[in-house]
Chain A
Amino acid sequence: MSQGDLLHVVTGDDIGERRRFIGKVLIWGSFALMAMAFAWCAIAQTGYLAVELSSWRLALYAYLLWATCLCIAQVVLHGEQGKRTLFVLPATLFVVAMVIFPLIFALTLAFSNWNLSAFEGPRFNGLDNVRQMWTDPFYWNALKNMVYYTLAILVEYSIAFGLALIQATQIRARRFFRVAFLMPLMLSPVAVSWMVGKSMLEIRFGPISQLARWLGWDRPSFFGDPEIARLTIMIMDAWTFIPFMMIMLLAGLQAIPREVQEAARVDGASGWRGFWEVTFPLMLPVSLTAILIRIIFKLKLADIIINVTSGGPGGATDSVTSFIFREYRDRSNVGYGTLLAIVYLALIVIAITAFMKAVDRWMNPKY
């Protein structure tokens, strides 16, 4: 133990050779058992052992045993230092079990041919699923739609910013409007689908259709034309989530000291220049956070689409998630569906990372 550790360690452990040996035996012995259990289960699954594998429970027990031995061994090997490790190690092992194993399982599935109706069960099929994805027009169409949906966030942001600016001023019934504007956010997207998509936009009796007819649109149709259908989905989704951006931006606006705007006015800045050169730059960190979170929400867009258009007409409103939902739920195509989901996850991680890097460079330029 180093001299510096004396500040934090109460007892000076004397770790002997025998104790060190026991610690290592605990770790590597239990690890060997776990490796054997995993190997047994893996080989049994292939059918070579002529043993019916009912589950991988044996591997789970072996992992628990190894995790327990690893924790005990920390104390055996390192004494009080090991006890400090125990504050973190069990949680780490739990996270590994809950994240790493399912991820490995998902990756295994992603490169398998597993249709739940196939009698053979999952079969490794190499890159076949990737090749299928590469030539799948429905997936690429859904990805293209996601680009449109994501770009619509810029419009949503502008509207949300405008509403936040109005809310930040001393208007009448300000509290009422704040609550009223927040109402759509409190609604489940499924409820929005039915209330707006299926009822208010119903072509014969829906009030919006009747208004459209009154305004001179003889045969209103909100989901018949691909572009109009996509726009309608965008509007419904925006209606739900603009309040979310608005409330974040409003909080940001209220955090800006009033003196800054007053100083700008004293210096002769007009209303527009005061906003564009003072308020907007100061709001950038909040704005980017709001946009980032909104992008994450948007990439999960599925419920409204599934309920209202099922991705139609002809895939014009399909999102990646709604397509994967059909692939999984209606077609029990677990292998291919998993690959699509993992590729989408990878794309999201890459895109979000790139976005954050770009924002970081923009916000903190290195001269």
Chain B
Amino acid sequence: MKTGVYNYMKRAGKLRRRDMLKGLTATGAVTAFSGVATGAGVRPAWAASHDRLRAEILKIPGVGMGSPTDADWQKVGEMCLGPIKEVVSEGEFAGVELTFMGLNNQNLHNFLFRGFLKPWEAYTGARINWIDLAQADYNARLQQSIATGTVDFDIIEMGAPFEGDVLGRGMASVMPDWVRNVIDMDDYVSYLQAPVGTWDGRTYRVSIDGDCHTFAYRTDYFGEGSVTGRDVPATWQEINQISRELKGKADPLTGLDAHGYLDPLKGWGGFGFYFLENRAAAYAKHPNDPAWLFDPDTMKPRVNNPAWVQAIEDVFELIEADAYPADQINADPGTTAFQQFLAGTGSMLMWWGDVGSNARTSDTSVVGDVVGFGINPASDRVYNASTGEWENTMNEAPNMAYIGWGVYVMATVDGDAQRQKAAWSAAAHLGGKDLSLWASAYPSGFQPYRNSHFNYDEWEEAGYDRAFIEDYLGSNADSYNHPNAAIEPRIPGIFQYYSVAEDELAKGFAGQYGSAQETADAIAATWENITDQIGRQQQIALYKASLGM
């Protein structure tokens, strides 16, 4: 679970006290029976019934009992080691040393992995060396390692957008069949199933996270008697109309100017492009076509087709209507979410799963009790790129922005069967079904990504408020399993395309291009240059592979 979500629940009372105490009692019982307190002498609970194991790990340390510590991570790692013990014998990897490269964001990620893998190290005899990176350094470090051929790590925590750079070059190890069974890949939500994590039909990724943009809105702006007098908008057309109508009205909470949808208009190292994608997905992602950014046969950008131009035009329209807050042109996504929406400016936003939950953890937030969630709004028409015609049909297309983190094993281990098995068993342990439930429920930096994570009974039993969990998780689950989810193209240099698009959009938003079409054409021209620079034929092949075509 994202730390912000967990903190929000604590502050907002979404963790029930009675259940919290039940959890504490249960933890005591587990500790007493299994000898967890002594650390080494734990009797693995996996031998007990599977359901009971899941209930027991959710009691460590007990929801609302403070942030988990390294000792807790080790306990969970130990208790979830069962599936690994079925395929790896004790001491089998004695003398094997592996290097793991991952993030150190918020003292999570690699810090958790260390704890989870400690019992694995003790059992298998292998040893892990760690490379901890800040998020900002990650891309440069990875690209430089790839470009200079200095891959000094055996296992990597990596986002799916980089799969093109790594898997496309054959730098990763193909997942052995036994791993697939250990981690129960069939349990993944729809969009994390193949082709995500696969390349040319082979599987490489152990998912440990899920990401998508969901719609967050102010509940006090909608309904009878509200400032809009309307229901929550279901389409982007309605969103623009409401945003225009709100001009000149007052925010019901702050009394300042009311605003509708907040488009981040400033770049964010490429990440800002996701927010135009949210609008464009509804227009451009046709249910019969997996591609929506490029033509898969030519890599000709679709960013200047009528669907994308409509998305850009929508933003232009709100700029011209002066519907945004002042200085919006200098608002990047972070500003939009945390300094505007949470502070009571604006009523609608697209963001990852944690913005609503941060409502009460941020000191400047005033919207904690008036946040609702939904999936990416629809469009009342969708563009069919194959026919070149608009189709007047309602189209939903949740944007799976960034897709989430996974664990990958590098091909550096493939020459040594023992190292290869060791690396894959470590990855499988981190992506295990039960361990992932714990990571979903406690601060870990990761969101739920398995169908089994949406079993609300388990969350309720662990001490969470059912209504909130259903609200919070429901929008994610609906997006993940949507049949027309817009999946990110996992091709090399995808963030280069996004970054250069941000620059051109900034010029368009500042009025330096004559129209949305001109802006889109400028983006398309730069994308063509990037494709040529990286290699068009290669990009075509990798784009098709990433779409499973």
Residues of chain A having any CB pair with chain B under 8 Å: 54, 113-121, 138, 202-205, 219-224, 226, 229, 308-316, 326, 329-334
A121 vs B269: C-alpha distance in the bound complex, in angstroms? 23
**A314 and B509 contact, CB distance less than 8 A:** yes
Instruction: Kindly state whether residue B298 has any CB partner on chain A within 8 Å.
Output: no
Q: Which residue of B lies closest to A219 (CB)?
A: B326
A332 vs B533: C-alpha distance in the bound complex, in angstroms? 11
Of B68-76, B328-336, B367-375, B465-473, the one with at least 4 CB within 8 A of chain A: B328-336
Q: Which residue of B lies closest to A232 (CB)?
A: B330
**With a CB–CB cut-off of 8 A, which chain A residues contact B266?**
309-310, 312-313
Q: Which residue of A lies closest to B344 (CB)?
A: A204
A113 vs B511: C-alpha distance in the bound complex, in angstroms? 32
A141 vs B116: C-alpha distance in the bound complex, in angstroms? 51
Given contacts A116-B147, A331-B500, 16 further A-B contacts (CB under 8 A): A117-B143, A117-B496, A118-B492, A119-B534, A120-B535, A121-B147, A221-B326, A224-B329, A312-B330, A313-B330, A313-B509, A314-B512, A315-B503, A315-B510, A330-B499, A331-B499
**A116 and B330 contact, CB distance less than 8 A:** no
**A116 and B507 contact, CB distance less than 8 A:** no
- Decide: A315 near B506, CB < 8 A? Known: A117-B534, A330-B269, A331-B499: yes
**With a CB–CB cut-off of 8 A, which chain B residues contact A205?**
343, 364
- Decide: A330 near B270, CB < 8 A? Known: A203-B327, A221-B327: yes
Instruction: Kindly state whether residue B514 has any CB partner on chain A within 8 Å.
Output: no
Instruction: Kindly state whether residue B530 has any CB partner on chain A within 8 Å.
Output: yes
- Most-contacted residue by chain A among B328, B507, B533 (CB, 10 A): B533
**B534 and A118 contact, CB distance less than 8 A:** yes
**B509 and A220 contact, CB distance less than 8 A:** no
**A117 and B492 contact, CB distance less than 8 A:** yes
Q: Which residue of A lies closest to B498 (CB)?
A: A330
A143 vs B17: C-alpha distance in the bound complex, in angstroms? 61
**B143 and A313 contact, CB distance less than 8 A:** no
Instruction: Kindly state whether residue B394 has any CB partner on chain A within 8 Å.
Output: no
Within 8 Å by CB of B530, from A115, A119, A222, A226, lies A115
**With a CB–CB cut-off of 8 A, which chain A residues contact B507?**
314-315
Near A by CB (< 8 A), chain B positions 135-150 give 139-140, 143-144, 146-147, 149
**With a CB–CB cut-off of 8 A, which chain A residues contact B364?**
205
A221 vs B257: C-alpha distance in the bound complex, in angstroms? 15
* 16 A-B pairs with C-beta separation under 8 A: A115-B534, A117-B143, A117-B164, A118-B492, A119-B168, A138-B503, A203-B326, A205-B364, A221-B326, A312-B266, A312-B329, A313-B329, A314-B507, A314-B509, A331-B493, A334-B147
**With a CB–CB cut-off of 8 A, which chain B residues contact A54?**
149
Q: Which residue of A lies closest to B332 (CB)?
A: A310
**With a CB–CB cut-off of 8 A, which chain B residues contact A332?**
143, 147, 493, 496
A113 vs B325: C-alpha distance in the bound complex, in angstroms? 42
**A330 and B495 contact, CB distance less than 8 A:** yes
Within 8 Å by CB of A220, from B168, B326, B329, lies B326
The contact string, 1 if C-beta is below 8 Å from chain A, for chain B 473-508, is 000000000000000000011011001100100111
**With a CB–CB cut-off of 8 A, which chain B residues contact A221?**
326-327
**With a CB–CB cut-off of 8 A, which chain A residues contact B330?**
223-224, 229, 308-309, 312-313
**A117 and B503 contact, CB distance less than 8 A:** no
A202 vs B169: C-alpha distance in the bound complex, in angstroms? 45
CB distance from B494 to the nearest CB of A (A): 9
CB distance from A40 to the nearest CB of B (A): 18
**A314 and B510 contact, CB distance less than 8 A:** yes
Instruction: Kindly state whether residue B538 has any CB partner on chain A within 8 Å.
Output: yes
**A224 and B535 contact, CB distance less than 8 A:** no
**A119 and B506 contact, CB distance less than 8 A:** no
Within 8 Å by CB of B144, from A115, A116, A204, lies A116
Near A by CB (< 8 A), chain B positions 493-549 give 493, 495-496, 499-500, 503, 506-512, 530, 533-535, 538
Within 8 Å by CB of A223, from B329, B343, B492, B534, lies B329
Instruction: Kindly state whether residue B267 has any CB partner on chain A within 8 Å.
Output: yes
**With a CB–CB cut-off of 8 A, which chain A residues contact B343?**
204-205
**A117 and B329 contact, CB distance less than 8 A:** no
- Most-contacted residue by chain B among A219, A220, A310 (CB, 10 A): A310
**B496 and A119 contact, CB distance less than 8 A:** no
**B329 and A118 contact, CB distance less than 8 A:** no
**With a CB–CB cut-off of 8 A, which chain B residues contact A220?**
326
Q: How many residues of B contact A (CB 8 A)?
A: 47
CB distance from B355 to the nearest CB of A (A): 18
Residues of chain B having any CB pair with chain A under 8 Å: 139-140, 143-144, 146-147, 149, 164-165, 168-169, 256, 266-270, 325-330, 332, 339, 343, 345, 364, 492-493, 495-496, 499-500, 503, 506-512, 530, 533-535, 538
A203 vs B343: C-alpha distance in the bound complex, in angstroms? 12
- Most-contacted residue by chain A among B139, B144, B147, B495 (CB, 10 A): B147
**With a CB–CB cut-off of 8 A, which chain B residues contact A334?**
147
**With a CB–CB cut-off of 8 A, which chain B residues contact A120?**
535
Within 8 Å by CB of B496, from A202, A224, A330, lies A330
**A326 and B509 contact, CB distance less than 8 A:** no
**A311 and B328 contact, CB distance less than 8 A:** no
A332 vs B162: C-alpha distance in the bound complex, in angstroms? 13
**With a CB–CB cut-off of 8 A, which chain B residues contact A224?**
326-330
**A118 and B533 contact, CB distance less than 8 A:** yes
Enumerate the 7 nearest inter-chain pairs by beta-carbon distance, A residue then B residue, closest first: A314-B510, A117-B493, A223-B330, A330-B499, A117-B492, A219-B326, A313-B510
Within 8 Å by CB of A326, from B345, B499, B530, lies B499
**With a CB–CB cut-off of 8 A, which chain B residues contact A312?**
266-267, 329-330, 506, 510
CB distance from A288 to the nearest CB of B (A): 36
**B503 and A202 contact, CB distance less than 8 A:** no
A115 vs B147: C-alpha distance in the bound complex, in angstroms? 9
A54 vs B169: C-alpha distance in the bound complex, in angstroms? 17
- Most-contacted residue by chain B among A138, A312, A316 (CB, 10 A): A312
**With a CB–CB cut-off of 8 A, which chain B residues contact A331?**
493, 496, 499-500, 530
- Most-contacted residue by chain B among A115, A315, A332 (CB, 10 A): A332
**B329 and A119 contact, CB distance less than 8 A:** no
A221 vs B538: C-alpha distance in the bound complex, in angstroms? 46
CB distance from B85 to the nearest CB of A (A): 39
**A115 and B327 contact, CB distance less than 8 A:** no
- Decide: A119 near B169, CB < 8 A? Known: A202-B339, A205-B343, A331-B496: yes
**A313 and B493 contact, CB distance less than 8 A:** no
**With a CB–CB cut-off of 8 A, which chain B residues contact A229?**
330
CB distance from A321 to the nearest CB of B (A): 15
Q: Which residue of A lies closest to B345 (CB)?
A: A204
**A118 and B512 contact, CB distance less than 8 A:** no
**With a CB–CB cut-off of 8 A, which chain A residues contact B325?**
203-204
**With a CB–CB cut-off of 8 A, which chain A residues contact B143?**
116-117, 332
A222 vs B256: C-alpha distance in the bound complex, in angstroms? 19
**B533 and A204 contact, CB distance less than 8 A:** no
Q: Which residue of A lies closest to B510 (CB)?
A: A314
**With a CB–CB cut-off of 8 A, which chain A residues contact B503?**
138, 311, 315, 326
CB distance from B144 to the nearest CB of A (A): 7
**With a CB–CB cut-off of 8 A, which chain B residues contact A326?**
499, 503
**B146 and A116 contact, CB distance less than 8 A:** yes
CB distance from A211 to the nearest CB of B (A): 15
**With a CB–CB cut-off of 8 A, which chain A residues contact B530?**
115, 331
A76 vs B168: C-alpha distance in the bound complex, in angstroms? 57
**With a CB–CB cut-off of 8 A, which chain A residues contact B139?**
329
**With a CB–CB cut-off of 8 A, which chain A residues contact B508?**
314
Within 8 Å by CB of B256, from A115, A202, A204, A311, lies A204
**A311 and B533 contact, CB distance less than 8 A:** no
A332 vs B146: C-alpha distance in the bound complex, in angstroms? 12
Q: Which residue of A lies closest to B507 (CB)?
A: A314
- Decide: A223 near B496, CB < 8 A? Known: A115-B533, A315-B506: no
**With a CB–CB cut-off of 8 A, which chain A residues contact B146?**
116
**A119 and B345 contact, CB distance less than 8 A:** no
Within 8 Å by CB of A226, from B326, B496, B510, B533, lies B510
**B149 and A119 contact, CB distance less than 8 A:** no
**B329 and A333 contact, CB distance less than 8 A:** no
A308 vs B266: C-alpha distance in the bound complex, in angstroms? 10
CB distance from B318 to the nearest CB of A (A): 14
